Amino acid sequence: MPISSLFRPGSKLKIKDADASQRLLDDGDKKLDKDEAKTRDKLATMKLGEHISAYQELLYAQKKYKLLIVLQGMDTSGKDGTVRGVFGQINPLGARTVAFKAPSNEEKEHDYLWRVHKEVPTNGEIVIFNRSHYEDVLITRVHDWIDDAECTRRYAQIRDFERMLTETGTVILKFFLHISKQEQKQRLQERIDDPHKHWKFDPQDLVERKFWDAYQTQYEKVIAATDAEHAPWHIIPADSKTQRNLAIASVVVEKLESLELEYPPAKPELAKLKIS
C-alpha cells in the first residue's frame, strides 16, 4: 500500500477519530527512546528531502508540471515547521512559500480566489501555501461570516478552480496537519513560558481555541467536500513534529516519483561544441 493512502480521508471522515499521535515508523523489535526515535525520523526525512531536492531540479528543468502544496491546520499545528523541515533543502530559485494572512483592504475588494490565483506556481515551480483559500470556508463559516448556502457555493467554486489548475498542469497536494487539543495547549503554553517567544503569541489564538470543536467539524466538512483524486487531502498526525515531517515528505516524494519526470532531451547541436 502506498504511504500516501495511510493519510487519505475515509468516506465518513471523523477527524476526532483520527489519532493525532499515530506513528508512521514503528520501532519494530528494538525499543527506541524518544530521542533515538526523533533522530531516526529526522534522518529519514533528510533522506527524503534530498529526493525532493533532486526531483525539484528535474521539475524545473522539464517545465512540464507545476507543484502546489497546501498546508492547513489549527494554530500551532506546525505549518511553518513543515516548510522548514520538509522543504528546507530545495533550491529557493524554483520554490516559493506564500503565507496567507487576513486579507488586506485591496484583497477584500476582490473575490476570495483572486489573491490565491495570483500566487499559483509557474511551470517547473514548487509553491507552498501556508494557509490558503480554505480559510474562506473555515474561519469564515465557524464565525458565521458566511452562511451554509454560501459555503456550499464556495466548495463548488474551489473544486472548479482546482480542477482548472490541474487540467493546466498543476499537481496539487493538500495537507491537514492534525493536532490534538491537548497538544495545542502545550504549544501555546510554551510560547507564553518563554519570553523570547512572546512575539509569536497572538491573543486571537486563544479566541479561536474556544471554537476548537466547531473547527474540527468544519474541517471534516471541508475535506469531505473538496477531496478529489486530482487534488487529494492528506490528514497528517501532527502531535509529533518529526513524524509529521516524515509523513509529509513521504507523500511528496511518492507523488513526485509517480510523475516520471525527465530531463529535457540533450541538444544535438551542443554535442561537439568546445568553448574558446
Nearest CA among 131, 133, 130, 137 for reference residue 165: 133
Asked if 196 touches a copy of itself (CB under 8 A), the answer is yes
- Rank residues 45 and 226 by Cβ distance to a copy of itself and give the closer one: 45
* Alpha helices by DSSP H, the chain: 34-62, 79-87, 105-108, 114-117, 139-142, 148-167, 181-193, 203-209, 212-226, 241-258
Minimum distance of a copy of itself from residue 90's CB (angstroms):
9
Instruction: Give the C-alpha separation, 250 to 254, whole Å.
Output: 6
The H or E element spanning position 143 is none
- Rank residues 28 and 203 by Cβ distance to a copy of itself and give the closer one: 203
Q: Which of residues 110-169 bind a copy of itself (CB under 8 A)?
A: 128, 130
Minimum distance of a copy of itself from residue 143's CB (angstroms):
21
Minimum distance of a copy of itself from residue 183's CB (angstroms):
11
Q: Interacting stretch for a copy of itself, rule CB under 8 A, among 38-46, 139-147, 160-168, 181-189?
A: 181-189
Instruction: Give the C-alpha separation, 128 to 173, whole Å.
Output: 10
For binding to a copy of itself (CB under 8 A), which residues are involved?
61, 80, 83-84, 87-89, 91-93, 95-97, 99, 128, 130, 185, 188-189, 192, 195-196, 198-201, 206, 209, 263-267, 270, 273-276
